[in-house]
Amino acid sequence: MFHKRNPPIGSRPGTLAIPEGSPPPRIRLLQYDASTHRDEAIEDLERLPERLAFEGVTWINVVGLGDEPTLRRLAEIFEIAPLALEDAVNAPQRAKSELFDAHQLVIARVPMQEGEALSVPQVCFFIGARYLLTFQERPFGFFDPVRERIQAGLGPMRRSGPDYLAYALIDTLVDRYYPIAEKLAHELEDLEEEILESAEADTLNRIHRVRRDLVILRRVGWPQRETVASLVRGESSFLSAPVRGYLRDTDDHIAQIMEVVDSSREMAVGLAEMYISDLSHRTNEIMKMLTLMASIFIPLTFVAGVYGMNFEFMPELGHRLAYPTVLAAMFGMAAAMLVYFRRRGWLGGGRRKRKP
Amino acid sequence: MFHKRNPPIGSRPGTLAIPEGSPPPRIRLLQYDASTHRDEAIEDLERLPERLAFEGVTWINVVGLGDEPTLRRLAEIFEIAPLALEDAVNAPQRAKSELFDAHQLVIARVPMQEGEALSVPQVCFFIGARYLLTFQERPFGFFDPVRERIQAGLGPMRRSGPDYLAYALIDTLVDRYYPIAEKLAHELEDLEEEILESAEADTLNRIHRVRRDLVILRRVGWPQRETVASLVRGESSFLSAPVRGYLRDTDDHIAQIMEVVDSSREMAVGLAEMYISDLSHRTNEIMKMLTLMASIFIPLTFVAGVYGMNFEFMPELGHRLAYPTVLAAMFGMAAAMLVYFRRRGWLGGGRRKRKP
Amino acid sequence: MFHKRNPPIGSRPGTLAIPEGSPPPRIRLLQYDASTHRDEAIEDLERLPERLAFEGVTWINVVGLGDEPTLRRLAEIFEIAPLALEDAVNAPQRAKSELFDAHQLVIARVPMQEGEALSVPQVCFFIGARYLLTFQERPFGFFDPVRERIQAGLGPMRRSGPDYLAYALIDTLVDRYYPIAEKLAHELEDLEEEILESAEADTLNRIHRVRRDLVILRRVGWPQRETVASLVRGESSFLSAPVRGYLRDTDDHIAQIMEVVDSSREMAVGLAEMYISDLSHRTNEIMKMLTLMASIFIPLTFVAGVYGMNFEFMPELGHRLAYPTVLAAMFGMAAAMLVYFRRRGWLGGGRRKRKP
Amino acid sequence: MFHKRNPPIGSRPGTLAIPEGSPPPRIRLLQYDASTHRDEAIEDLERLPERLAFEGVTWINVVGLGDEPTLRRLAEIFEIAPLALEDAVNAPQRAKSELFDAHQLVIARVPMQEGEALSVPQVCFFIGARYLLTFQERPFGFFDPVRERIQAGLGPMRRSGPDYLAYALIDTLVDRYYPIAEKLAHELEDLEEEILESAEADTLNRIHRVRRDLVILRRVGWPQRETVASLVRGESSFLSAPVRGYLRDTDDHIAQIMEVVDSSREMAVGLAEMYISDLSHRTNEIMKMLTLMASIFIPLTFVAGVYGMNFEFMPELGHRLAYPTVLAAMFGMAAAMLVYFRRRGWLGGGRRKRKP
Amino acid sequence: MFHKRNPPIGSRPGTLAIPEGSPPPRIRLLQYDASTHRDEAIEDLERLPERLAFEGVTWINVVGLGDEPTLRRLAEIFEIAPLALEDAVNAPQRAKSELFDAHQLVIARVPMQEGEALSVPQVCFFIGARYLLTFQERPFGFFDPVRERIQAGLGPMRRSGPDYLAYALIDTLVDRYYPIAEKLAHELEDLEEEILESAEADTLNRIHRVRRDLVILRRVGWPQRETVASLVRGESSFLSAPVRGYLRDTDDHIAQIMEVVDSSREMAVGLAEMYISDLSHRTNEIMKMLTLMASIFIPLTFVAGVYGMNFEFMPELGHRLAYPTVLAAMFGMAAAMLVYFRRRGWLGGGRRKRKP
């Protein structure tokens, strides 16, 4: 959950903490305009500046952060501020965007399923006037679909600037949230089905189903409410003033519905608690019964067992009054136990009396 | 809960992901003004543009999204932006509204009970200056009542523009939240009655009833407070300054009441927890009692049982001191057990002592 | 909880859904100025307009909504918009206020104890320049005290306009929240006392008492903080700039106190959970003990019981080694049981070991 | 929790509801300027106006509210509006401040430990240009330290106006929150230590300790974050623009830390729940074991007990095959019980199988 | 948690409450500009003013607060307001910043692990035009890394003013939050692994894993959403208007994803509760079974035990019909018990019937 690599406490701002195990940077240059495109690996960083003279869009994709001098030289070429370079390298940072003189910095985080674990690597963008510079810690393959679209040359990509390219890449990254969220939601649905199927109590099932529907209604209803409210307040010339008045009425309706949904959710939670409490109460009652029976009869059975032993020398056995005496003693033990139970309040049907 | 159909990751913006099983579009044209109205099915899309010359209101209702060329052609006719078309087709989206040059886009979600499950299909509106274009995934019948009102010709509908028509349709859709919320609230009321009736603990019932009343009071009280506050701050010429001053006092009253209601809710939750904790505590006490009795007497009964066996060759049985010896051993076992229980803190009335 | 009467889905805006069982409207006219006042029942609605010529304040109180034509005629006389009439009639609505050309609409909700249940009927006000029009569903008697004050002629009422009258009525309605909130708070106090008195665990009682005090401190402290902050930021000429500076220091103090109170509340909740968890843990330990004793000795006692049966033909009984064999078998059974328990981790004092 | 004394519903605004048991007002006058000070009890209210001519600061301290004419006369002398007088007398109100023409009204609430209970009386201030008027319900002694400071004549008090006096008094009142909050926090610490010490489960202790540290970190971290953010946004001339840029980086750091703290808190709560659930699961497993053993062997032991009875006339005892028959029957009963348990799903190790 | 040292209630504002055990102040002077730097301990406070004439940056670091006259003299030299001095000395305060004429006051809190406990001492900064004054309660060593950087003379430090120095120190302090938050997060991870490993129920494990992933997704997703939204709304010249339009679409996507994540979290909590409730229900069922078996057979076994006793004088034993009579009585007892159980609703499979 928390594996930010930090430089040691008190180090100078801009100190780089290169992620462990990050490979040395491989730099790939993709240049295109409406008519041409060229894909090239940059081995020697010093040949990069001359390539930036290209009139179209230049995309410099840096994969791997494992060499500080290379990164420092890149920062020099693209006039990257030390703190911005720190953001790009000391991954992971929070997603954020920041405007510099030379470019716009955007940091995005992308969830990825790696085996059982969920990791969330970062991708860093510097959007310049004629170039886009991207940094990734390792080769993730996030950008392959967009690269193919550039090569295919369809759509507005080839006719647009580096901002459109950045948008296309960010959109691709955001799309990667879907399958993760979907997978978790499906896992929950599976679990739900499994639990509901094998659950033994019908009442709980029904409460749970109502709660689930309320959650859905709420999720759908709030944006609906915002939408109607924005129509009422909005500036659209397609809606006349009287119709806005009518829509305010619709707004009232949906506000009222949402309040019922929220109250219902609270009541549903309360009911589930009530049900469980009542179950505890019943278990308590049953335990009292069990304890009562066991506490009275187990000692008595023990006494009977004692006099059922086959020792030859048990003087009591021959006494005339031994049997009725033992029976009376057993009766007395049971009565004493009942008195003890009544004193502790463990008898009497489980309902504590209200004060008069 | 989450069945958004998405185009593959990295596809071009505006790529359509037509919902599976959506039938091919059937387009229905309804044109009306104060005096005339005409209802027509459009089979050939190319005849649509000429119909749009009509002076009154034109409502184009598209049901079914199962044919991309038709949708693309519609987008062309009505100048729908690619991303807007994507919103209309890649259902379901969040409810939202957005203003374009040619029209206002509104997306609404409508909850629907389908058998046991709750589904929330979307309806998409494009409100133009003289037309209304609506998209639905399947024929849901949401719009039938409004269509009948148009045909009947009553009310302001026939004298108003497409914005009023859009309002009437949206209002109809919002009205569909009511029966769903009502059904869930009724289901909860049923469950509540059922649980309260069969619950065995009076105290829990009383706490629950207080909580329910507090939820109601809160739901009613907050809008009441907003209302009074809006009168105090408002610009109504019907309220003089001194009366606003008095109303501020009323505002104080209701603020104070709402704080008591909120504190009371928190206390009610705390009390319910306290009650349940105490129940656990009592169950624990009872279990200690049961365990004590069982742990002491079950082994002793076993010993008695052993010497009650009828084997012919049990040398102990004939010893003179066997009986008292066994009795003493039993007493010793019981005492050892008691010592063990006291050491583990399982004796002594259940109250842990405070430190001195 | 949710008994809004709605017109059928898709009906025209402004359609009335008169509450079931609402009696036909009875209209009562109260006219007063500083010197005169007149109280009159209006039987014939057509005589109402001429009465509105009165120079002083006219209060038209409509009780009962059970006749649509009467309501429509009233709407006509007072120029009530269709949607406003719908708000007045299709009770209950959310409390709200809305400004129209002819008057200010205010809808208020009033909690009422009806037997066991809490109902929250609505009252609707139209505040005009010279009149006040009120609608109630049934005769509730909410307004009687104000009517008596008008007749008594004391205070500023008779010298003020309809806005003061509306204020007096709304204030009366808000006052009705007090006894309901007070009753619920008292019920909670009773429950608290009852539970605390009979609760067996001192620790829980103490945690609960601290929580209750923290709730009180919080409820009192937040408005206190707002008050000090408003003095710091306010425009009062009675507070000089240096004193505001001092007050900012006081503001810091109370902010710090409120943070401690909030942290303490969270800790108190955590402690209560911790206590209950520990209780569960102890119960679990006790159950292990019980299960261990029962599982070992109950089968052994059964075996002893078998050989205590008095059948004449039990060949084992006569064998010389039968008794030691059976004893050994019993010992073996007990040992096997202990091994099984140890394997399942049910032995060993209840503390799961930390990893090394 | 809720003991506001209210005038009857519907009474005129400004109606006083004097707290029960409040003694009749005793009025004390304290007048001072830089050089002089005088302390005097006012017996006759009519002599008050002439004293107000004093050039320095006049503090009129009213203790006790038990006489309406005196209060009304005071209101007249100081031009107190009826609603303001109501706020001063109908205690307790919410803390608030309000500006009038003649003075600033401030209402403060002061928590006080009275025996076991926490009460929160109110103190009311009217801050005028040259006077301070204070109302208390009973003599609480809140003001004694300030009175002594006035008499001692140290500090800026004697050279300042009534606003400084009001500040000094309010600050004294806010200081009284500290010991109460401190006492509750200490009580919680005691409880924590007590519970942690006697708790048997190490895991719970560790979770709780982490939660406590997270609560502390959160309480300290949020104001820290606000502080850094205010430096970034602030207008201080002592911070240059580049340093603000650096501080924005620090702001990012602390935002990220706070997110980890919040996620960790949520995870800690989830872990505690998980632990308790697992404990319930284990208890359930143990109970199954116990129930299985008891259900199988208790009936069998009973059967053995029956044939161990010593009646003379038990025809079965003499049959040759009785013993093996009974043994077989016992075996059959045990097998039937096992089948029943397996059918109910109470056998099989406690893990419910995942669907294939 | 709450160990603020306060001066007694009602003392003058600005009264110092020096932390117990704070050593007497040791003052250290560090003066530097781009070319020189000097580090000096100030023994005699009166020699401080002449040193302030230095043209570069002067850092006065005060460690220890244990001598009021020294502190007062320092306040005089640097024109520190009494309340600001109080903030510096009466530690700990909330983190805050405040602007004075002579300097900017910043109070920071620094979490520190001291043995088992977490303490959060404060550091106080006064940032002047040419000096920085810092106060610490005890020598914590927080500033050592920065002092070394000054001596090393690298980076912009030596060329910047006291504001940069203050930034460097505050950044160092904020960095100290990381290891604490990290330690707690790691401790939680350990606990999680430990609990998940030893937990017996697979279902709970899976629910927990989904919850954890949802927490991560949420923590990463919200800043991502803010980032995209800020690009849409921002003023960056590097993003063209059409691309902003496209990004609004991306914004919609991520809003929708976040809603699914939030709903899923709520569902996961509900599912966990459902699972635990069902577990309680099962335990209840098992307890019923156990209680039933025990309550029926334990008394019967006792009766059998009585007639298995070996007393010589037990007249019943000789009766011809004694055995069948006793068997019938046993049967009757068992039947009575079953009737009692059915009456209490403890028989019938555990499902409470729905009302017809």
Closest CA–CA distance from residue D257 to any residue of chain A (Å): 10
Q: What residue of B is the nearest CA neighbor of E305? A: B305
Establish whether the linkage from the previous residue to E92 is cis, with ω within 30° of 0: yes
Q: Check E175 against A10: CB less than 8 A apart.
A: yes
Closest CA–CA distance from residue A24 to any residue of chain E (Å): 26
Q: Does E213 touch chain A (CB under 8 A)?
A: yes
Q: Does D355 touch chain A (CB under 8 A)?
A: yes
Q: What residue of E is the nearest CA neighbor of D169? A: E10
Q: Does E308 touch chain C (CB under 8 A)?
A: yes
DSSP structure class, residue A95: P
Q: Tell me whether residue B203 is exposed, middle or buried, using C-beta atoms within 10 angstroms of its C-beta: 0 to 12, 13 to 18, 19 or more.
A: buried
Q: Tell me whether residue C15 is exposed, middle or buried, using C-beta atoms within 10 angstroms of its C-beta: 0 to 12, 13 to 18, 19 or more.
A: middle
Position E100 scores a pLDDT of: 87
Q: Check D198 against B352: CB less than 8 A apart.
A: yes
* Distant-in-sequence, close-in-space partners of C8: CB < 8 Å, separation ≥ 6: B145
For chain D, where are the alpha helices, taking DSSP H only? 48-51, 68-77, 82-89, 144-152, 162-175, 177-198, 202-233, 241-306, 322-343
* Beta-carbon pairs below 8 A across chains B and D: 27
ipTM of the predicted assembly exceeds 0.95 = no
Position E25 scores a pLDDT of: 93
Q: What is the percent of chain A with per-residue pLDDT over 70, rounded to a whole number?
A: 96
Does position B96 have pLDDT exceeding 70, yes or no? yes
Ranges B33-42, B280-289, E59-68, E190-199: which has the least confidence: E190-199
The Cα–Cα gap between A243 and D200 comes to 67
Q: Pick from A306, B301, A288: which is nearest to D298 by CA?
A: B301
Position A71 scores a pLDDT of: 93
Q: Check D93 against B354: CB less than 8 A apart.
A: no
In terms of pLDDT, which residue wins out, D46 or A351? D46
Q: Does E284 touch chain D (CB under 8 A)?
A: no
Residue B122: other Cβ atoms inside 10 A: 22
The Cα–Cα gap between D123 and D107 comes to 6
Q: Check C217 against D177: CB less than 8 A apart.
A: yes
Closest CA–CA distance from residue C339 to any residue of chain B (Å): 19
Position B348 scores a pLDDT of: 56
Position B355 scores a pLDDT of: 38
In terms of pLDDT, which residue wins out, B12 or D29? D29
Closest CA–CA distance from residue E247 to any residue of chain D (Å): 23
Closest CA–CA distance from residue D163 to any residue of chain B (Å): 25
Q: Check C154 against D12: CB less than 8 A apart.
A: yes
Does position B155 have pLDDT exceeding 80, yes or no? no
Ranges A272-276, D232-236, E304-308: which has the least confidence: D232-236
What's the pLDDT band for D77 if we cut at 50, 70, 90?
very high
What's the pLDDT band for B4 if we cut at 50, 70, 90?
low
Q: Check A86 against D249: CB less than 8 A apart.
A: yes
Classify each residue of C207-231 as buried b or exposed e, where b means 16 or more C-beta atoms within 10 Å of its C-beta.
bbbbbbbbbbbbbbbbbbbbbbbbb
Contact list, C309 vs chain D (CB under 8 Å)? 304, 307-308, 323, 326
Q: What is the full DSSP assignment across D37-82?
A: EEEEEE--GGGHHHHTT-SSEEEEEEE----HHHHHHHHHHTT--H
Does position D11 have pLDDT exceeding 50, yes or no? yes
Position C6 scores a pLDDT of: 65
Does position D351 have pLDDT exceeding 70, yes or no? no
| pLDDT (tens digit per residue) in B64-81 | 998 999 999 999 999 998
Residue E85 CA from chain centroid, whole number = 30
* Distant-in-sequence, close-in-space partners of C180: CB < 8 Å, separation ≥ 6: B213, B217, C111, C112, C113, C118
DSSP structure class, residue D121: -
Does position A238 have pLDDT exceeding 80, yes or no? no
Does position B318 have pLDDT exceeding 90, yes or no? no
Q: What is the percent of chain D with per-residue pLDDT over 70, rounded to a whole number?
A: 96
| pLDDT (tens digit per residue) in A209-231 | 888 888 888 888 888 888 888 88
C351, two tokens: 């503390």
C101, two tokens: 């050309």
Give pTM, 2 decimals.
Answer: 0.77
Does position E59 have pLDDT exceeding 60, yes or no? yes
Position D6 scores a pLDDT of: 65
Closest CA–CA distance from residue D233 to any residue of chain A (Å): 15
DSSP structure class, residue A318: G
| pLDDT (tens digit per residue) in E217-227 | 888 888 888 88
Indicate if the alpha-carbon torsion angle D88, D93, D99, D104 is positive or negative. positive
HSE-up of C316 (CA within 13 Å, CB side)? Answer: 18
Q: What residue of D is the nearest CA neighbor of B255? A: D94
What's the pLDDT band for D355 if we cut at 50, 70, 90?
very low
The Cα–Cα gap between D336 and D340 comes to 6
Closest CA–CA distance from residue B314 to any residue of chain A (Å): 10
The Cα–Cα gap between B301 and B293 comes to 12
Residue A255 CA from chain centroid, whole number = 28
Which residues does residue A125 pair with via DSSP β-bridges, in sequence order?
A106, A134
The Cα–Cα gap between E81 and E87 comes to 10
| pLDDT (tens digit per residue) in A298-328 | 899 898 888 888 888 888 888 888 888 888 9
Please check whether residue B279 is in contact with residue B287, taking contact to mean a CB–CB distance below 8 angstroms.
no
Q: Does A255 touch chain C (CB under 8 A)?
A: yes
Contact list, A98 vs chain D (CB under 8 Å)? 248
Q: Which of A343-347, C36-40, E14-18 has the highest mean pLDDT?
A: C36-40
Q: What residue of C is the nearest CA neighbor of E298? A: C298
Q: What are phi and psi of A76, to 5 degrees?
A: -65, -45
Amino acid at E345: G
Position D354 scores a pLDDT of: 39
Does position A1 have pLDDT exceeding 50, yes or no? no
Classify each residue of B287-310 as buried b or exposed e, where b means 16 or more C-beta atoms within 10 Å of its C-beta.
bbbbbbbbbbbbbbbbbbbbbbbe
Q: Check A286 against E283: CB less than 8 A apart.
A: no
Interface of D with B in 184-203 (CB under 8 A): 194, 198
Residue E32 CA from chain centroid, whole number = 40
Amino acid at C256: Q
Does position A4 have pLDDT exceeding 70, yes or no? no
Q: Check C228 against D199: CB less than 8 A apart.
A: no
What SS3 state is found at B183?
Answer: helix
Does position E4 have pLDDT exceeding 60, yes or no? no
In terms of pLDDT, which residue wins out, E349 or D255? D255
C188, two tokens: 């909670």
Q: What residue of C is the nearest CA neighbor of D204? A: C274
Does position A250 have pLDDT exceeding 50, yes or no? yes
Q: What residue of D is the nearest CA neighbor of B302? A: D301
Packed helices C202-233 and D162-175: angle between N→C axes, nearest 10 degrees: 160
Q: Check B277 against C282: CB less than 8 A apart.
A: no
Q: Does B279 touch chain D (CB under 8 A)?
A: no
Position D350 scores a pLDDT of: 41
Position E5 scores a pLDDT of: 57
Position C355 scores a pLDDT of: 38
In terms of pLDDT, which residue wins out, D133 or E4? D133
| pLDDT (tens digit per residue) in A330-342 | 999 999 989 988 8
Q: What residue of A is the nearest CA neighbor of C1? A: A260
Q: Check B194 against E355: CB less than 8 A apart.
A: yes
What's the pLDDT band for E348 if we cut at 50, 70, 90?
low
Contact list, C220 vs chain D (CB under 8 Å)? 95, 109, 111, 120
Closest CA–CA distance from residue A108 to any residue of chain D (Å): 14
Contact list, B255 vs chain D (CB under 8 Å)? 94
Ranges B133-147, B156-170, C220-234, D69-83: which has the least confidence: C220-234
Q: What residue of C is the nearest CA neighbor of A267? A: C1
Position A5 scores a pLDDT of: 57
Q: Does D252 touch chain A (CB under 8 A)?
A: yes
Distances (CA, A) of C108 to B227, B234, B240, C75: 8, 16, 20, 19
Position E26 scores a pLDDT of: 94
Closest CA–CA distance from residue D256 to any residue of chain A (Å): 6
Closest CA–CA distance from residue C17 to any residue of chain A (Å): 14
What's the pLDDT band for A354 if we cut at 50, 70, 90?
very low
Q: Does C123 touch chain D (CB under 8 A)?
A: no
Position D285 scores a pLDDT of: 86
pLDDT lower than 70: segments of chain C: 1-6, 348-356
The mean pLDDT of chain D is 84
Mean pLDDT computed over B132-158:
88
Mean pLDDT computed over B254-263:
83
Closest CA–CA distance from residue C263 to any residue of chain E (Å): 9
The Cα–Cα gap between A139 and A66 comes to 12
Q: Check E221 against A177: CB less than 8 A apart.
A: yes
Q: Does A227 touch chain E (CB under 8 A)?
A: no
Position B159 scores a pLDDT of: 86
Which domains are present in chain E? 26-178 (3.30.460.20), 199-278 (1.20.58.340), 291-343 (1.20.58.340)
Q: Does C354 touch chain E (CB under 8 A)?
A: yes
Contact list, A2 vs chain D (CB under 8 Å)? 260, 264
Q: What is the full DSSP assignment across C188-212?
A: HHHHHHHHHHH---HHHHHHHHHHH
Indicate if the alpha-carbon torsion angle D241, D243, D247, D249 is positive or negative. positive
Q: Does B263 touch chain D (CB under 8 A)?
A: yes
Closest CA–CA distance from residue A338 to any residue of chain C (Å): 20
B243, two tokens: 């009366």
Position D268 scores a pLDDT of: 86
Chains that touch B (3 or more CB pairs under 8 A): A, C, D, E
The mean pLDDT of chain B is 84
Mean pLDDT computed over B83-112:
86
Position D5 scores a pLDDT of: 57
Q: Check A308 against E313: CB less than 8 A apart.
A: no
Position C239 scores a pLDDT of: 79
Of A246, A255, A256, the CB nearest to C83: A246
Position B1 scores a pLDDT of: 43
Contact list, E309 vs chain A (CB under 8 Å)? 304, 307-308, 323, 326
Position A26 scores a pLDDT of: 94
Q: Pick from E137, E136, E143: which is nearest to E165 by CA?
A: E143
Does position B319 have pLDDT exceeding 50, yes or no? yes
What's the pLDDT band for E30 if we cut at 50, 70, 90?
very high
D224, two tokens: 């820290």
The Cα–Cα gap between B322 and D2 comes to 73
C141, two tokens: 């008697």
Mean pLDDT computed over B41-66:
92
Of D263, D268, D290, the CB nearest to E219: D263
Contact list, E145 vs chain A (CB under 8 Å)? 8-11
